[in-house]
Copies of this chain bind each other. A is one copy, B any other.
Amino acid sequence: MLASFDALKKILRRLPGIGYRSAERMALYLLLEGREQAQELIRGLSSSLDALQMCSLCGNLAEAERCSICSDPARDSSLLCLVETIPDLYAIERSGDFRGRYQVLGGKLSPIRGVLPQNLPLAHLRHRLEQEKTREVILALGGDTESEATCQYILREILQPLGKEVTRIGFGLPSGSGIALADADTLHTAILARRKL
């Protein structure tokens, strides 16, 4: 009926997590009540596209060829933290404890969803590890099966052959939470990960 409206819905629908109804609702909002906000979105998106790119070294968002972490000489280049996504990287930065560098994988191995080793930047990771004086690699992927398989694969195919020290982030009870509310898997992991006091 309205060609430009249909085209806009189609574009919005291809965004991650947006279905048909959300796309329609968003398009109507932007064209009716939110017209000013739509102009802001156009301006904000244009200037972000101009200002930001992917860091050529670690895959983080960057304002130049290298991101602020990779180009910060105060960061410890002997520590490399592997994360799945940029929001994971931000979460670790917010925790304030990590002073090393990152490599964003951009995904995890999943034969079912068609993500194979060649779809992850593993050749790039191997190259970095050969070039940089990395002492320890921290595997900061989640606790699901696909993340576990990805860690195992990277360990066996890349990190062990290069003889790097490898650690995996700790798993167990989330800080501030109670025993009775934890699920069985979490408690299982927490008991396995018990430490001597």
**Contact residues of A with B, CB < 8 Å?**
1-2, 4-5, 7-8, 11-12, 14-18, 21-22, 24-32, 34-35, 37-42, 44-49, 51-54, 61, 63, 68, 85-87
Contact = CB atoms under 8 A, between A and B. Distances in A.
A68 B86 CA distance: 46
Contacts of A21: 87
Given A4-B44, A32-B61, 5 more contacts: A5-B52, A5-B61, A14-B34, A39-B49, A42-B46
Counted per complex, copies of this chain come to 2
Contact of A15 (B29, B45, B51): B29
Given A8-B48, A11-B40, A28 B86 contact: yes
Given A11-B40, A11-B44, A14-B37, A2 B63 contact: yes
A31 B5 contact: no
Given A52-B5, A52-B31, A25 B87 contact: yes
B2 A61 contact: yes
Contact of A47 (B4, B26, B61): B4
A87 B15 contact: no
Contacts of A40: 11
Nearest to A29: B16
Contacts of A53: 31
User: Which 10 residue pairs of A and B lie closest in terms of their CB atoms, listed nearest first?
Assistant: A4-B48, A4-B51, A8-B44, A8-B48, A11-B44, A16-B29, A11-B41, A31-B52, A11-B40, A4-B47
A27 B87 CA distance: 11
A113 to B, nearest CB: 15
A27 B11 contact: no
